[in-house]
Amino acid sequence: MSTSGGRSAGRGLRERPLGRLLLLVGVLAAAFAASRSCAASGTTYDAKAAVRIARTQLDFTPRCVQVRYLRRGVESEPVWAVSLWTLAHGRFDRITVVVVAARTGRVLSVDRDPSTSSTPPQCSSPV
């Protein structure tokens, strides 16, 4: 009757290294699933659809685009803020910001001349 043999055979899964690893992987998978469902909750239109919708509001051909997923208002409505612009001589030439409802695809606002004095022009996402 060895106590060390009895103790190791009776150890729970949480006390074993493999058990701890499996538990950690399970917790991380659950956290990832929860974060993905929260981020996408209530959205019918994705970022690509928002860009297509925003382009219908333009009277120019944009060179660059930036898309941001936001929640606004008291009821935390999910929206896409789509910035589209052109550059001339290293500066913004034309810029328009279109806010699109992520649930309905409805255009909520169009700002054709937003303030750009504090932001240097960049084009990491060409249209």
Q: What is the pLDDT of residues 32-73, one digit of tens each?
A: 776 655 555 568 999 999 999 999 999 999 999 999 999 998
CB burial of residue 77 (10 Å; 0-12, 13-18, 19+): middle
- Residue range 107-111: average pLDDT? 96
Query: In whole angstroms, what is the distance from residue 122 CA to residue 127 CA?
Result: 13
Q: Is the predicted pLDDT of residue 78 greater than 90, yes or no?
A: yes
**Tens digit of each residue's pLDDT (9 = 90 or more) over 2-43:** 455 555 555 676 678 887 888 888 888 887 776 655 555 568
Report the C-alpha gap between 8 and 16 in whole angstroms: 9
Residues linked to residue 88 through DSSP beta bridges, in sequence order: 91
Q: What span, in angstroms and rounded, lies between the C-alpha atoms of 43 and 94?
A: 29
Would the pTM count as exceeding 0.75? no
Q: By C-alpha distance, which of 33, 96, 89 is closest to 59?
A: 96
Q: Measured between alpha carbons, how far is 36 from 13 in angstroms, rounded to an integer?
A: 29
